[in-house]
Structure 1
Amino acid sequence: MAGRKLTIEELGVDPLNDQAEASKSSSAVSNSLNPISTKVESDSVSQDPADHRPGRLYAIADIHLSFPTNREALEKLGQDGQHKSDGLILCGDIGETHDHLELGFRIATQRFRTVWWCPGNHELYTMPVTDASADASVARGEAKYDECVRIARQYGVLTPEDPFVMWEGEGGPVVVTPIFTLYDYSFRPDNVSLDEAVDWARETDVEATDEHLLHFEPYTSRQDWCNVLVSKFHQRLSEAQATHPGVPMVIANHWPLRQDLVYLRHIPRFSIWCGTTLTSNWHKEFEAKVVVSGHLHIRRTDWKDGTRFEESSLGYPRQWKDCMDMGMDINGFLREILPGPPAPEGGNAPTLWRRCDQASYNPAELFVKKPKTSSGIT
């Protein structure tokens, strides 16, 4: 009989969990990240229940359904029928197992008109088992990805392997292009070689779970797989651009397309598992209106060259527990991709950091606990 697969919680080796704990107890965050410190209100997600209106396009990433709290939260996603006319991009890290994917896809397709998905690293994991006699034919690498694609298609979810389609709702028309690029360890300093990259991260006790659970068969390495994927999706995006000249794109990829969008204060060397420099210019090359990502578990909005970048993670339960305690549910974490806000003058703007129902240009206002006063009021 096959042994029981270990859960992510039981493995307990994801450095992003440690990042969450550290950021909650940090005493300061450098204001030099962005000189603007004015606090602003977050643009809220529309709750218009009318089905006759043109649909809006939303995104959420990193819902991590291995955690019971997140599974319970998912049940509330669009449960009042307010998103029946809308589209949803699931931007990776739904979970590790077929059951996680089926649950996520079932609820999403019940609550939204159109659903897209692109894989994160967690979907690609081959989970260990507690019994050495367990079936050894568990899918690895590209075969695991192919399994995920098949499950998505069973629910009518559009994947990176399907033809890219036009979104005609509010803020459209755009071509929605879910892609899959993985990473090649290139988000590292110039003085660190590729061969040294993982050891360089380990020097600070940082190592991605991917090194143990994300296999790369039939390729020779993760960076080799990444190179194949980058070439493949560059061609796919080029073809979409030629087919729909002048129509902007919404590019969805679990990993950030640009290194300058990766800021992990407590685990900076985790950056090597966060993308590839080969995609740095894709937002301009393919005339992207919006680029959607996840992976970092730090929600933020950036403007680069007239393109809006949205990190749209939910994250692990302890990363959004304070938001739950404030009465916020998963619907409050949906990022409105379209129509979205207007572009800033000049096409560039400081990072807008997001936490719970607030947003600020100064991360210290959102991610640092304020000391208690003598009355106990924070």
Structure 2
Amino acid sequence: MKLFAVADLHLGFAANREALAEIQPRPEDWLILAGDVGETSNHLRLAFESLLPKFKKLVWVPGNHELWAVSGRDAEPGARALRGEERYLAFVELCREYGVLTPEDDYPLIAVDGGLLRLVPMFLLYDYSFRPADVAEEDALAWARAGGVRCADEQFLAAEPFASRSQWCRKRCEETEARLAALGEDDAPRVLVNHWPLREELARPPRIPRFSLWCGTTRTRDWHARFKAGAVVSGHLHMPSSRIIDGVRFEEVSFGYPKQWRGRRAPDDALRRIMV
């Protein structure tokens, strides 16, 4: 069995929906969907119904776009847009309807490329800590705006029932850290999967470096070393890359918006094989 990953399918775009048909079947392999499949339950259903027949198992973690609560985008006309944690948990239930693995499930031990690994899907969010040391947290948004950077999360990504996204992030990190610690001396290398990158140096888009504010948390900087990662998978930045840090491979596996991939690479080529 092989393990593949892709993020940021953004199925709100017609070209990206059409691109699903170009992903080739790999019926013995697993596919990680590392967030930003789309904004609605219909986008997730479309992804699952297109990809489940092609793969043995799908794994999903949320991105910021799934968490956007935008009036009129939910499945039922006039339905109340689910917000915050309620929205996330509704998507978890949708995944379970299709048999898709989520961050709320046990971390499976799977055989990949002839060896065992522990697959760890995570949902950690961000807390504005990817900023210069001389910028206080309460000044972070003003710092980003001074660089001409804004993020739609400030309008659409509700944190309910938490007081803030930073508080939600702290809870998710504490819970996930405890689960990872509970694995103990499990000898299998882990594949850590999160939509947002785990390290700040991976979260600096060259054209808009202050977008880093919405890209992760410094809480996870050493998780790859502390928790025996063989590989770390993320998306969000729309900057596909593969880097080695402390002997661990960090894979950014974004597909991206149509203008970012059309004429540059075939949709099937966006799937990254994850090896440890």
Fold agreement, TM-score > 0.5: yes
Aligned residues: 273
Give the letter for the 2:96 counterpart.
R
Q: What is the alpha-carbon distance in structure 1 between the residues aligned to residue 148 and residue 201 of structure 2?
A: 23
Aligned to 1:333: 270
| Structure 1: segments with no counterpart, 5+ residues | 1-54, 340-378
Cα shift at 1:128: 2.8
Q: Which runs of 4+ in 1 moved over 2 A?
A: 134-137
3-state SS of paired residue (1:139): coil
3-state SS of paired residue (2:274): strand
Give the letter for the 1:166 counterpart.
L
Cα shift at 1:124: 0.4
Within the alignment, does 1:144 sit opposite 2:90 as a pair? Answer: no
**Structure 2 residue corresponding to 1:296, chosen from 237, 247, 250:** 237
Aligned to 1:94: 37
**1:230-281 Cα shifts (integer Å, max 9, x gaps):** 0011011112x22x62111000000000001123111111000000000000
**Structure 1 residue corresponding to 2:5, chosen from 30, 53, 59:** 59
| Structure 2: segments with no counterpart, 5+ residues | none
3-state SS of paired residue (2:262): helix
**1:318-340 Cα shifts (integer Å, max 9, x gaps):** 011231xxxx421111111026x
Q: What's the % identity of the aligned pairs?
A: 45
**Structure 2 residue corresponding to 1:261, chosen from 196, 202, 212:** 202
Q: What is the alpha-carbon distance in structure 2 between the residues aligned to residue 203 and residue 84 of structure 1?
A: 49
Kindly indicate whether the alpha-carbon contact (under 8 Å) linking 2:71 and 2:80 is maintained by their aligned counterparts in 1: no
Give the letter for the 2:129 counterpart.
S
Aligned to 2:259: 318
**Structure 2 residue corresponding to 1:246, chosen from 171, 184, 187:** 187
3-state SS of paired residue (1:289): strand
3-state SS of paired residue (1:290): strand
Q: What is the alpha-carbon distance in structure 1 between the residues aligned to residue 60 and residue 79 of structure 2?
A: 28
Give the letter for the 2:269 counterpart.
G
TM-score by length of 1: 0.70
Kindly indicate whether the alpha-carbon contact (under 8 Å) linking 2:33 and 2:59 is maintained by their aligned counterparts in 1: yes
3-state SS of paired residue (1:86): strand
Cα shift at 1:310: 0.1
**1:271-327 Cα shifts (integer Å, max 9, x gaps):** 00000000000000000000000000001111111110000000000011231xxxx
Kindly indicate whether the alpha-carbon contact (under 8 Å) linking 2:204 and 2:211 is maintained by their aligned counterparts in 1: no
3-state SS of paired residue (2:69): coil
Kindly indicate whether the alpha-carbon contact (under 8 Å) linking 1:172 and 1:338 is maintained by their aligned counterparts in 2: no
Higher strand share: 2
Cα shift at 1:135: 4.2
Give the letter for the 2:7 counterpart.
A
Q: What is the alpha-carbon distance in structure 2 between the residues aligned to residue 279 and residue 337 of structure 1?
A: 20
Kindly indicate whether the alpha-carbon contact (under 8 Å) linking 1:117 and 1:157 is maintained by their aligned counterparts in 2: yes
Within the alignment, does 1:188 sit opposite 2:125 as a pair? Answer: no
3-state SS of paired residue (2:16): helix
Aligned to 1:168: 111
